[in-house]
Amino acid sequence: MPKITLPDGSAREYENPVTVMEVAESIGPGLAKATLAGRVDGKLVDSSTVLSADADLAIITERDGDGLEVIRHSCAHLMAQAVQRLFPKAQVTIGPVVEDGFFYDFAFSRAFTPEDLQAIEKVMGDIVKENLTVERSIMSRSDAVTMFKEMGEEYKVQIIESIPGDEDLSFYRQGDFIDLCRGPHVPSTGAFKAFKLTSVAGAYWRGDASNEMLQRIHGTAWGSKKDLKLFLQRLEEAEKRDHRKLGKHLDLFHFQEEAPGMAFWHPKGWSIYQTVQRYMRKVQDEHNYKEINTPQLVDYSLWEKSGHASKFSDEMFSVESENRMYAIKPMNCPCHIQVFNQGLKSYRDLPLRLAEFGSCHRYEPSGSMHGLMRVRSFVQDDGHIFCTEEQIQAEVADFMAMLFAVYKDFGFDEVILRLSTRPEKRVGSDEVWDKSEQSLKDALNATGLPWELVPGEGAFYGPKIECSLKDCMGRVQQCGTIQVDFSTPGRLGAHYVAEDSSKKEPVMLHRAVLGSFERFLGILIEHYAGAMPTWLAPEQVVILNITDKQGDYCLNFEESLKNKGFRVSTDLRNEKIGFKIREHTLQRIPYLAVVGDKEVESGTVAVRKRGGEDLGTMTFDDFCTLLSQDVARFGRSEQLDNS
């Protein structure tokens, strides 16, 4: 006589063991219809699961986050079934749930085409109409291997053989399709309401580039047609914001064949870049960093000493000149240590914070490049703090505070923190690792924010914190980092004289707030959809005349604004005012100042924001005040208007 307790605290008693679905039916037919799975005592199960003892039960529907997972996972099976109906020779491999959808990898003699995808989607629809029951079953490993061997599913055999342990395996069957799977799954193939196959591409078997390539089909699935539509709209919105598109449209930068992965910055893009750089310079100055600059070409021997050559020589550009081999620097740390090494350092000099807007070049694999997000030539807002072990925590805390303030100014309020700790292959004693990991933990706890522990993902030379931000599309972008390094300073001969006159190696903290300017600008462009806040906008104001008569007045006004430090231009073209407003609005100019006879007469301008808001006429002084206030609030979102 199981007593089933529901999430609202109500309990129901049943004469005999019941399935999750039967409980749902006893509550109401509407719920039964919507039932996808159940959560019994916190564990996700199929709706066919029998409850014979007392249990806490939550009925999972599409509204539940887990319900969506069940739908997507089941949809992967649905797709695999459709693929095998159309292409019986295609072998199934794996088909997990990913963010917003799922994929399934197939081994097939050729690549699937977009036409194939349409056909597969159609067959998926047919299978939904057939409303096949999804049945769970248990099989021994040996039976399962025999079955898949008979079916010619070599990959499934491999998967089973790689699952440790001897326990029986669960299978899900729908019609003629059966797949090894932990589940849970939807009760029947009629449960799908909204799905779409989105793309097809190659993917390596088991994620290993030395293995053969499979055909991966991506799809998305939702609880309702409306949700699917919203998702597709989100994709469209993301496409509109694509920084590569906006970079062209707003004349910010370009790429060309002769310099793959290296941006040509145009005046407007470079203006944003420089504004960001000036800002970072000021912030770092306030945090007592000393800015330096180090060579682009450094003899290869330094990279051998630092250990980079042995690990990354394939990804380094090198230059030969007069029988000497140089590398174009792929990173700044060895150079910063050279600066540290000049002159004898005392413990009194620590912490020493060196910063460089360091231009780096890396030969990134051709297929990995992506607009500004991954380039071969980039500038890091790089910094290295030389300090003692005792100083680590305070330095990390200062860095975190700086990072939060910077991200806020750029309009990013949500920061996601991760701590990566000691990997198996590492240098340094456990004692030192303990201490530095603890310092990072303390610094993270001091932020009062949640953080995630990623064991074993630290660098070989020390643990690190990674700071990601969330843009307005909800996408997570890793930008900032601070890493503890016990190894490199010693390798490159850095030391200082301690209080007791002994010679000690400093700890080096590698840190960056933005990461690379290129990537960060890409993120900013997409975050703001090109409509940069006034402080960043390459052109803050465009003055527009209505007829030729106001030309001189406009130019004088422009000159006065420029003298106040604003970025202004004047559009005196012989075009209608509506045309000019349209054009500059499309160029995302924050403020348009319109001048006609009335304004000339009253010594004012008529101000319009790019969102269309009419601020009315105002004097030069009032306009300056308005602009100054807008610039001063940076991109902080609490005051961000959506114009």
Partner RNA sequence: GCUCGCAUAGCUCAGGCGGUAGAGCACUUCAUUGGUAAUGAAGAGGUCCCCGGUUCAACUCCGGGUGUGAGCACCA
Task: For RNA, give the closer residue by CB, 10 or 366.
Answer: 366
Q: Which residues contact 162 (CB under 8 A, 6 or more apart)?
A: none
Regarding 541 and contact with RNA (CB under 7 A), the answer is no
Q: What's the start-to-end Cα distance of the chain, in Å?
A: 62
Regarding 199 and contact with RNA (CB under 7 A), the answer is yes
Regarding 598 and contact with RNA (CB under 7 A), the answer is yes
Site string for RNA, 492-521 (x = CB under 7 A): ------------------x-----------
Closest CA relative to residue 303, chosen from 326, 322, 324, 285: 326
| Distance of alpha carbon 123 from alpha carbon 419, whole angstroms | 46
Candidates 575, 625, 629, 641: give the one binding RNA (CB under 7 A): 575
Regarding 237 and contact with RNA (CB under 7 A), the answer is no
| Distance of alpha carbon 589 from alpha carbon 532, whole angstroms | 8
Regarding 579 and contact with RNA (CB under 7 A), the answer is yes
Site for RNA in 81-120 (CB under 7 A): 111, 113
Regarding 586 and contact with RNA (CB under 7 A), the answer is yes
Under rule CB under 7 A, how many of the chain's residues touch RNA? 70
Regarding 235 and contact with RNA (CB under 7 A), the answer is no
Regarding 26 and contact with RNA (CB under 7 A), the answer is no
| Distance of alpha carbon 609 from alpha carbon 592, whole angstroms | 6
Closest CA relative to residue 583, chosen from 544, 557, 626, 526: 544
Rounded to a whole number of angstroms, the minimum distance from the CB of residue 172 to RNA is 25
Site for RNA in 283-342 (CB under 7 A): 308, 311-312, 315-316, 330-331, 333
Regarding 610 and contact with RNA (CB under 7 A), the answer is yes
Cβ-based neighbour number of residue 569 at 10 Å: 15
Rounded to a whole number of angstroms, the minimum distance from the CB of residue 448 to RNA is 28
Site string for RNA, 239-278 (x = CB under 7 A): -----xx--xx-----x-x--xx-----------------
Q: Are 287 and 353 in contact (CB under 8 A)?
A: yes
Regarding 226 and contact with RNA (CB under 7 A), the answer is no
Regarding 223 and contact with RNA (CB under 7 A), the answer is no
Candidates 28, 30, 202, 267: give the one binding RNA (CB under 7 A): 202
Q: Are 189 and 131 in contact (CB under 8 A)?
A: yes
Regarding 131 and contact with RNA (CB under 7 A), the answer is no
Q: Which residues contact 534 (CB under 8 A, 6 or more apart)?
A: 540, 590, 591, 627, 630, 631
Unique residue bearing structure tokens 């899900």: 172
Candidates 606, 630, 631, 635: give the one binding RNA (CB under 7 A): 606
The DSSP annotation for 401-464 comes to HHHHHHHHHTT---EEEEEE---SS--S-HHHHHHHHHHHHHHHHHHTS-EEEETT-SBTTB-E
- Give a three-class secondary structure readout of 315-376: HCCEEEECCEEEEECCCCHHHHHHHHHCCCEEHHHCCEEEEEEEEEECCCCHHHCECCCECC
Candidates 1, 163, 201, 230: give the one binding RNA (CB under 7 A): 201
Rounded to a whole number of angstroms, the minimum distance from the CB of residue 371 to RNA is 5
Residue 587: strand, helix, or coil: coil
Instruction: Give me the active site residues, please.
Output: 333, 362, 380, 382, 384, 464, 510
Cβ-based neighbour number of residue 572 at 10 Å: 16
- Give a three-class secondary structure readout of 257-279: CCCCCCCEECHHHHHHHHHHHHH
Rounded to a whole number of angstroms, the minimum distance from the CB of residue 358 to RNA is 12
Q: Are 592 and 581 in contact (CB under 8 A)?
A: yes
Region near RNA per CB under 7 A, out of 202-210, 389-397, 533-541, 554-562:
202-210
| Distance of alpha carbon 294 from alpha carbon 334, whole angstroms | 10
Site string for RNA, 409-448 (x = CB under 7 A): ----------------------------------------
Candidates 150, 501, 578, 638: give the one binding RNA (CB under 7 A): 578
Amino acid identity of residue 564, one-letter, is: K
Candidates 592, 623, 627, 635: give the one binding RNA (CB under 7 A): 592
Q: Which residues contact 407 (CB under 8 A, 6 or more apart)?
A: 413, 415, 469, 480
Task: For RNA, give the closer residue by CB, 218 or 527.
Answer: 218
Regarding 218 and contact with RNA (CB under 7 A), the answer is yes
Pairing label, strands 568-571, 464-470: unpaired
Regarding 234 and contact with RNA (CB under 7 A), the answer is no
Regarding 576 and contact with RNA (CB under 7 A), the answer is yes
| Distance of alpha carbon 308 from alpha carbon 176, whole angstroms | 54
Site string for RNA, 334-373 (x = CB under 7 A): ----------------------------xxxxxxxxxx--
Q: Are 105 and 216 in contact (CB under 8 A)?
A: yes
Residue 543 is encoded by which pair of tokens? 């003055």
Task: For RNA, give the closer residue by CB, 190 or 596.
Answer: 596
Rounded to a whole number of angstroms, the minimum distance from the CB of residue 112 to RNA is 8
Task: Provide the binding-site residues for RNA, judged by CB under 7 A.
Answer: 111, 113, 199, 201-204, 207-209, 213, 215-216, 218, 244-245, 248-249, 255, 257, 260-261, 308, 311-312, 315-316, 330-331, 333, 362-371, 374, 459, 510, 546-549, 574-579, 581-582, 585-586, 592, 594-599, 606, 608, 610-612, 614
